[in-house]
């Protein structure tokens, strides 16, 4: 592990491209889940919670 690396001088050109690529990949990893429609189980849960909320005193 390079100990002289961290937090001091990023190498600008490389850094920017690499970070952009990482950021893109990171978002891709989760984009599938994020673009899925909300599963029924959660819609049902919210509905249930709402129903029991409104009958509470």
Partner 1 sequence: MSVPDTFKTELLSVIPNLRAFALSLTKTADKADDLVQETLMKAWNKHHLFQAGTNLKAWTFTIMRNEFYSQMRKRGREVQDSEGVLASQLASHPEQQGHMDMQDFKAALEDLPEDQREALVLIGANGFSYEEAAEIVGVAVGTIKSRVSRARSRLVEDLGLDEEGEFGPDAISSHIVGSVALDSRR
Binding site for partner 1 (CB under 8 A): 2, 5-7, 11, 13-14, 17-19, 21-23, 25-30, 33-36, 38-39, 41-43, 45-46, 49-50, 53-54
Give min distance, CB of 8 to partner 1, in A: 11
Give min distance, CB of 44 to partner 1, in A: 10
Cα angle 36-40-46, degrees, rounded to a multiple of 5 = 110
Cα(57)–Cα(52) distance, rounded to whole angstroms?
Answer: 10
- Cβ atoms < 10 Å from Cβ of 21: 10
- 């005193």: which residue's tokens? 57
Give min distance, CB of 25 to partner 1, in A: 5
């Amino acid at each position: 592990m390079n100990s002289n690396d961290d937090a001091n001088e990023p190498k600008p050109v490389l850094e920017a491209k690499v970070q952009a690529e990482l950021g893109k990949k990171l978002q891709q990893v989760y984009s599938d889940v994020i673009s899925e429609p909300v599963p029924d189980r959660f819609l049902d849960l919210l509905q249930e919670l709402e129903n029991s909320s409104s009958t509470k005193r």
